[in-house]
Structure 1
Amino acid sequence: MRAPGPAAGLVADHCHKLIGLLGPAAESTLRDIVAQCGQPLRVLLVGDVSTGKSTLLNALLSDSRAETAFKETTSRVTWYHGPHLGALGLPDPSHRAVAAGFPLADRLVLGDSPGLNTSSENPDETRRMMGGGDLAGAAAAFVCVLGTGLVSGLWAKHLEGLAALSAGPFDLVGNMVLVMAKIDLIDDDIGNLERRTRDSTPLAFRFAGVNQLMAAAARTGAVDGRTLAVLDALRALPSFEAWPPESWPEVADDLSGLFSDTDLKAFEDSVGAPELLPELVRATADMDHPSAVAAVFERMSGLAALESVLADIAEDADLFTTTAVLLRLRRLAARLPDDPAAQVRSAIAAVTSSRQYQDLWPRAAARLMRHTSVGDGLDPDDLDTALRLLSGLTCPPAAAAAALTRWSARSADPFADSRTRHLARLVQDAALRVLAEPGSEETP
């Protein structure tokens, strides 16, 4: 497991001291903040019932841990974590923890939550973790699994609440991921789908489209010898070149007598829409091992793009976790009596005035440049240099000197908005640090 970030570690130190001072009214929140600051980034999956959220979770876990069905199956929040963490601190006693060795287990703790669109009381457990809930901030990032189509009015409201919750003083973006589920059922390419989704909400978010069925099949061992046999049979059909088939019953008719209904249903449940069959059949030609075919399933599923986004978010776990836990502390102070509230606010002030906290600003600025219109209109090389400087990556002195000149002009532009000027000053400061390093031949 990665060590806690410097800023989150500082928050944990202050909360440790407060536990013995504030009494039982604050103890559970403070203890969980300490736990959160020492864990990999907490990421909560949220979505409606039957959008494929649990299937997606199984794919991310590379194991069939979450129950799946076209009905409400998730009744409480469950956190999946790497076995190396031992006993996991949880936001609430009603939550549960499950150890699982999944690909991103050293970077993330993945939470599954009840669907939001049912009349049962289960969605209340999810709402507690979202904007306005009493556990808001206990998850530092969100994967919002949407059904096919655009973002609905109700989901836009949920997303606005999450964005307001997540922003914090940094105007932070980049920790909210929209996953368009069941992309095999959408008659559009992924680029158009993303543009249409972005047009339906003004919020800044990360985006991925995933065929959960193919992703889960690839990761959970559902691609086996039976899968290869069905693909071989499809490849041998005289009617293959006339495809795609219009329905799975049509496929079953073509394979009548060769496979049992159970085998064909298992194949259907691992592929999704039958329109994918021509590409799948061609892509797996001459493959004689399930692992090779599973790799094709995974590529076609889009899961790798989502995991890449999650890994990128985890790179700034200190930034996202610190923002989330400070939100929790501010909310705690708001509900405490005056004296204990003052102690919590004093701890917050100590953190936000620290070097560890100030070092988060450039990382937040880099996120804004990557994922909002702030970076629009910049020369690609200029943007790349600014991002390298803000992210603390290696930058040649000559490039830093040129960036200092350009961004100094932007910070002094009286017509620029305050956010742009602030970002420009952060790039200036980062460039000056590079130029002050021993061995730099440039002078500021």
Structure 2
Amino acid sequence: MIPQQQAWPLAEAVLELAVRAAAAPDPALAAAGNRTAERLRRPLCVAVVGRVSSGKSTLLNALLGRSVSPTAGGECTKVLYSFRHGMWDYAVAEPRDGSRDVPMNFEGTRLSTTIPLPADRLRRVNVTLPASLLQRVTLLDTPGLASTSVETSAVTARMLEDTSDAAADADALLFCLNSTLKDDEAAAVRTFRAARGGARLTGGTAVGLLTKADQRTSDRKTVWKEASESARKMSAAHAELFSEVLPVIGLLAETAASGALREHHARALAALAKEWNPDRSEIALASPELFLELPGPVSREERGELVALLGTFGIGELLEALRSGVPAHAAALTEVARAASGLDAVTARLEVVLGNRADVLKAASALEDLLDRAQAAGDRTIYGQAQQLLDRAEMFPLRLQEMARQLARGRVRPPAGMAEEAWLAVTVGLPRSTPAKAAQRAGAWREWSALADTSGRNVARVMVRAWQLATREGGGA
């Protein structure tokens, strides 16, 4: 799913700096160096966030390729779950008071929904699985926002606001949405970014997901058109928060990725496709209740299993596929279900956010802490070396996205001409330039920065760097 990076040169350079910082005489800087080194040696950390019943756990199961996280209706995720790689399935509840971990059970392949301690006494549930994805990424399944349970809301608030919590260490964010973005949801994204080291969670490292795309319209034939249009509008409206918003049908994705569709399900679907014509199917699939009750060759119990695995949208897609000649076998129908779920588009996006840019993400997040601590300690050597790493060309895409967010929100308003130049840098990149022209444009941005506030000076610095890079790439005389 997410390609293994054989070499992360930028993260390795930051790790070398962290080791030097760990030997600094200043205790706070030394602690930051040790903390940074430990973090860089760990896999990338991704937090899955959203409202209660927004499909967080279902999405996580789809990404893992197995149904392990509880997904039953209601508030089944009452604490923070951390999924890491291990040689076998194992889960323990970690108390907040530092007392001994409490083992948790699995119910079949899923974690038990019974938590051995009250949620307010738990720091998190630590889960290890032999899933290949977890060799590269640690996944955090978070409590739901706007919980109907006071207990769960308190856990969510702690998770978001306590900078010592594991979620505050996330390198990237997957935000599950069911409808238009609410104020508290936008605030949650900003809280993640504002937490210690959270400045790294720019729009480029936060992806919005419409996890129940099939529920946005009752017309199955227009589901993806409606969902895609909604995602496009949200991407444009919230460019300062998300790099992109994508539609996905989480239930269908989990079923396909985990291989939960069996041969008896395929036979049941084939029987329905043969017995019902398309018009009859559309009537039956108008609601789960109608599908269960309408006369046909498959028992109510079997139909209930199909609804639980596929939803009415997925059932309709598979019936249509069978009528078009797809073999009535679980493997073939699973492929259809995966394609219909939108999961491949999500994983393709993750390849960019978490795969190709993992080196930059890890390095950027680690440098934040080192810069702050080195400046506070007055260690000019560590601070200067950290700043040099931050200015490397590989880091520049993150800085461009930060600039785009400032421009989109209207917090920085460069003069006419310069504003267009900044957006050109964000969208397609500056044109190749001679050293003389680049120096002239960089000088103009430096002049403007002298009259600007802090945000304006940050934008100017990015544009100066953009022109320096345009010169390097152009190599003009």
- Normalized against structure 2, the TM-score is what? 0.70
Per-residue deviation at 1:161? Answer: 2.2
1:286 aligns with 2:325: yes
| Residue 60 of structure 2: aligned partner | 57
Structure 1 residues 73, 17: CA separation in 2 closer, same or farther (over 3 Å shift)? farther
Per-residue deviation at 1:408? Answer: 6.2
Contact 1:235 1:281 in 2 (8 A): yes
Partner SS for 2:261:
coil
| Residue 227 of structure 1: aligned partner | 265
| Residue 161 of structure 1: aligned partner | 191
Partner SS for 2:82:
strand
The 5-angstrom pairing of residues 356-435 of structure 1 reads 358-367=392-401, 386=429, 400-401=432-433, 409=441, 412=444, 421-435=460-474
Per-residue deviation at 1:212? Answer: 1.0
Structure 1 residues 280, 372: CA separation in 2 closer, same or farther (over 3 Å shift)? farther
Give the fraction of aligned pairs with identical amino acids, expressed as a percent.
21
1:40 aligns with 2:74: no
Pick from 297, 314, 317: which aligns with 2:337?
Answer: 297
| Residue 320 of structure 1: aligned partner | 361
Contact 2:22 2:30 in 1 (8 A): no
Pick from 242, 247, 253: which aligns with 1:209?
Answer: 247
| Residue 236 of structure 1: aligned partner | 274
Distance in 1 (CA, whole Å) between partners of 2:433 and 2:404 is 22
Partner SS for 1:134:
coil
Cα distance per residue 1:188-239 (max 9 Å; x no partner): 6123212443576573302122211100000111122123223212322344
Structure 1 residues 156, 348: CA separation in 2 closer, same or farther (over 3 Å shift)? farther
Cα distance per residue 1:20-39 (max 9 Å; x no partner): 9739x996x76554322112
Contact 1:143 1:176 in 2 (8 A): yes
Cα distance per residue 1:285-332 (max 9 Å; x no partner): 32223222112111111112222222211222333334434445678x
Distance in 2 (CA, whole Å) between partners of 1:111 and 1:118 is 21
Partner SS for 1:234:
helix
Structure 1 residues 357, 110: CA separation in 2 closer, same or farther (over 3 Å shift)? farther
| Residue 192 of structure 1: aligned partner | 229
CA RMSD in angstroms, aligned pairs only = 4.3
Partner SS for 1:219:
helix
Pick from 102, 105, 108: which aligns with 2:137?
Answer: 108
Distance in 1 (CA, whole Å) between partners of 2:395 and 2:383 is 16
- Normalized against structure 1, the TM-score is what? 0.75
Whichever residue aligns with residue 266 of structure 2, its letter is L
Per-residue deviation at 1:344? Answer: 8.7
Structure 1 residues 15, 415: CA separation in 2 closer, same or farther (over 3 Å shift)? closer
Whichever residue aligns with residue 354 of structure 1, its letter is Q
Unaligned runs of 5+ in 1: 334-339, 388-398, 437-442
- Number of residues paired by the alignment? 410
Whichever residue aligns with residue 127 of structure 2, its letter is V
Per-residue deviation at 1:9? Answer: 1.5
Structure 1 residues 161, 407: CA separation in 2 closer, same or farther (over 3 Å shift)? farther
Structure 1 residues 81, 170: CA separation in 2 closer, same or farther (over 3 Å shift)? closer
Contact 2:193 2:199 in 1 (8 A): no
1:149 aligns with 2:179: yes
Whichever residue aligns with residue 337 of structure 2, its letter is F
Distance in 2 (CA, whole Å) between partners of 1:376 and 1:271 is 48
Cα distance per residue 1:45-76 (max 9 Å; x no partner): 12222222111111100011212211222243
Of 214-223 and 358-367, deviating more is 358-367
| Residue 111 of structure 2: aligned partner | none
Distance in 1 (CA, whole Å) between partners of 2:47 and 2:335 is 27
Whichever residue aligns with residue 338 of structure 2, its letter is E
| Residue 250 of structure 1: aligned partner | 290
Structure 1 residues 268, 362: CA separation in 2 closer, same or farther (over 3 Å shift)? same
Distance in 1 (CA, whole Å) between partners of 2:379 and 2:301 is 61
Distance in 2 (CA, whole Å) between partners of 1:277 and 1:158 is 35
Contact 1:11 1:37 in 2 (8 A): no
Cα distance per residue 1:316-359 (max 9 Å; x no partner): 2333334434445678x6xxxxxx99449768625533346544
Partner SS for 2:362:
helix
The 5-angstrom pairing of residues 65-104 of structure 1 reads 65-83=68-86, 94-102=123-131, 104=133
Per-residue deviation at 1:125? Answer: 4.5
Distance in 2 (CA, whole Å) between partners of 1:261 and 1:347 is 71
Partner SS for 1:321:
helix
1:264 aligns with 2:303: yes
Whichever residue aligns with residue 35 of structure 1, its letter is E
Structure 1 residues 415, 125: CA separation in 2 closer, same or farther (over 3 Å shift)? same
Partner SS for 1:194:
helix
Partner SS for 1:156:
helix
Structure 1 residues 298, 311: CA separation in 2 closer, same or farther (over 3 Å shift)? same
1:180 aligns with 2:210: yes
Unaligned runs of 5+ in 2: 99-122, 218-222, 409-417, 450-455
Per-residue deviation at 1:435? Answer: 4.5
Structure 1 residues 378, 100: CA separation in 2 closer, same or farther (over 3 Å shift)? farther
Pick from 169, 181, 192: which aligns with 1:138?
Answer: 169
Distance in 1 (CA, whole Å) between partners of 2:301 and 2:74 is 21
Distance in 2 (CA, whole Å) between partners of 1:230 and 1:402 is 68
